[in-house]
Amino acid sequence: MKKIIFYILILIVIFLNGCATKNVVYNRTIPVETISILIVPENLTVVKFNDKKVKWKTGIWYFPLISYDKIVKVKIPEGENTLTINYLWSMSSGNQVYIRKANGIIVTYNFEAGKTYKLEPFTFGDRITILIKKQ
């Protein structure tokens, strides 16, 4: 009986780790041949896309070792698009918590159809820059 419970727990862990990516379609009427993929990592939230409110962000932690939605993959139209992004990073060390936060970072980029792009935050001192890297 203990072995059966152990194997069921293993299967649950494998299933939850398989759910680590959340897929979003911005507009289902976009022709497939004109779609770009935008990857949003866990410390960023896209709050506006071309001045329309959206909320593309990762999920929450349910277990210490297993997370839901470590990244979000969004299907967006090709061409020049403007993103408004919020950034939140935190780390605890002993009895101290370090937090970096920035809201309203605006990024405009010309996305190519059929390509995948990843948002990557880059920090230097108090400055936060969002890079868009073609995968």
Q: Which residues pair with 83 in a beta bridge?
A: 49, 107
The radius of gyration of the chain from alpha carbons, rounded to an integer in Å, stands at 18
Question: Domains of the chain: which residue ranges?
Answer: 2-134
User: What's the mean pLDDT in 44-62?
Assistant: 82
**Residues ≥6 apart with Cβ < 8 Å to 34:** 77, 78, 113
Cα–Cα dist 115/22, whole Å:
18
Cα–Cα dist 117/38, whole Å:
5
pTM of the model: 0.75
For 6-46, what is each residue's pLDDT tens digit?
Answer: 666 665 655 554 445 567 777 788 888 999 999 998 889 99
Cα–Cα dist 68/78, whole Å:
28
For 60-81, what is each residue's pLDDT tens digit?
Answer: 544 444 444 477 889 999 999 9
What stretches of 1-135 show up as alpha helix (H) in DSSP? 2-18
Chain mean position to CA 51: 19
For 64-123, what is each residue's pLDDT tens digit?
Answer: 444 444 778 899 999 999 999 999 887 788 888 888 889 999 999 999 999 999 999 988
Cα–Cα dist 54/48, whole Å:
5
